[in-house]
């Protein structure tokens, strides 16, 4: 079978295929289900760059040993409102779910909690973990570091990773506010796509070896680096993320982080991550907070629109609409995602029998 067009499948079928592919690689059923939850939910939000498209890359690392098939993330240190998780070089999603659930449990006792993760790997979409907190009525924050690919203002090359940041806030009758952002101006994948097409790019996407903006996508990532979002502001936020998820957690930071996509796949990457949960009920009654959040969202929705604008949205609103549609009608995967899943099927022997007719 060759994927030549978008393909619509059910959430359950995609989840099952993803979990079975991971199990075929030797991952436990529980860890496979956790990772499948993260990846499939991300696809349902319409964020296809961080969903099941990543499965092939994870399987490569599992096969070569850079990800431990039977790694067991565990809490190695803790106090009343904090903990440190060692990911044991297992799938990053498994360590991250453990960390956020630990933060949630501690926040319910202490009001707020911080959990750092070390010896992990790429964890997918940060928004999944903050959603875990929002589902239980807490405010969640999640962040992670990565191998440097983003310049700092004035640098000649990459200084920090694209270091993602997410927050989720329960909002009463509304879906949770959910922001999931990179601290780079643009995703590296968009630069790659332009490079493959031989097209120029906007001059605020990357800088060349001289540290100056360029429209030449062909130099990335060999000699080019992504520009930080909003210049010094994005750089400052990325540095905080590096501090919390890399330095404070005991993980690798900056160039000490392994490149999970492009290295030989045989060594752990020692990515870091950090998770914060805040129980609003310790500060004000949860029902009062929900009512106030509803007022805030309603106020934004009712604000005057600029000419040509159709609506005002809060972070995550369109993603939740895509999620609701996907759960009822299936997830429409782009052809490039299907091509990756076909390669997974060939490698693992798990059939692509989930196609929706």
All CATH 1.10.1530.10 domain ranges of the chain, comma separated, are 7-66+320-348
Which of 138, 149, 143, 142 lies closest to 224, judged by CA? 149
- Supply the angle between the helices 335-348 and 11-24 in degrees, to the nearest 10: 40
Contact by Cβ (8 Å): 157, 151: yes
Question: Percentage of the chain with pLDDT > 90?
Answer: 92
Superfamily of domain 185-227 in the CATH hierarchy: Hypothetical oxidoreductase yiak; domain 3 (3.30.60.50)
Residues noted as catalytic: 122
Q: What architecture is domain 7-66+320-348?
A: Orthogonal Bundle (1.10)
DSSP state of 227: P
The mean pLDDT value of the chain amounts to 95
Of residues 84, 14, 97, 82, the one with CA closest to residue 51: 14
The predicted model gives 302-312 an average pLDDT of 97
d(CA 173, CA 183): 30
CATH 3.30.60.50: which residues of the chain?
Answer: 185-227
Task: Please state the pTM of the whole predicted model.
Answer: 0.95
pLDDT digits (tens, 9 = 90+) for 126-148: 999 999 999 999 999 999 999 99
Peptide bond connecting 343 to the previous residue in cis, omega within 30 degrees of 0: no
Name 79's Cβ contacts closer than 8 Å, sequence gap at least 6: none
């Amino acid at each position: 079978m060759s994927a030549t067009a978008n393909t619509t499948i059910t959430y359950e079928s995609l989840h099952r295929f993803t979990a079975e592919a991971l199990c075929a690689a030797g991952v436990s059923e529980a860890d496979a289900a956790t990772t499948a939850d993260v990846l499939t939910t991300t696809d349902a939000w319409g964020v296809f760059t961080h969903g099941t498209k990543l499965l092939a890359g994870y399987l490569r690392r599992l096969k070569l040993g850079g990800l431990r098939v039977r790694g067991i993330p565990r809490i190695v240190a803790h106090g009343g409102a904090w903990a440190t998780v060692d990911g044991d070089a297992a799938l990053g999603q498994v360590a991250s779910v453990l960390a956020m659930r630990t933060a949630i449990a501690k926040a319910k006792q202490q009001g707020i909690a911080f959990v750092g993760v070390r010896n992990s790997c790429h964890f997918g979409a940060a928004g999944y973990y903050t959603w875990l907190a929002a589902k239980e009525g807490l405010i969640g924050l999640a962040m992670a570091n990565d191998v440097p690919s983003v310049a700092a203002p004035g640098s000649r090359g990459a200084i920090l990773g694209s270091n993602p940041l997410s927050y989720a806030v329960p909002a009463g009758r509304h879906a949770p506010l959910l922001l999931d952002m990179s601290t780079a101006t643009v995703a590296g994948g968009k630069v790659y796509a332009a490079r493959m097409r031989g097209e120029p790019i906007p001059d605020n996407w990357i800088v060349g070896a001289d540290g100056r903006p360029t429209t030449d996508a062909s130099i990335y990532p060999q000699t080019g680096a992504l520009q930080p979002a909003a210049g010094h502001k994005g750089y400052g936020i990325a540095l905080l993320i590096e501090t919390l998820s890399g330095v404070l957690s005991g993980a690798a930071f900056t160039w000490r982080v392994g490149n999970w996509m492009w290295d030989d796949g045989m060594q752990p990457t020692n990515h870091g991550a950090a998770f914060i949960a805040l129980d609003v009920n310790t500060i004000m009654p949860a029902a009062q907070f929900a009512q106030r959040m509803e007022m805030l969202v309603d106020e934004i929705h009712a604000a005057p629109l600029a000419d040509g604008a159709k609506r005002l949205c809060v972070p995550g609103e369109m993603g939740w609409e895509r999620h609701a549609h996907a759960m009822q009608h299936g997830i429409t995967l782009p052809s490039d995602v299907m091509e990756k899943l076909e390669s997974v099927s060939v490698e693992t022997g798990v059939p692509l029998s989930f196609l929706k007719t």
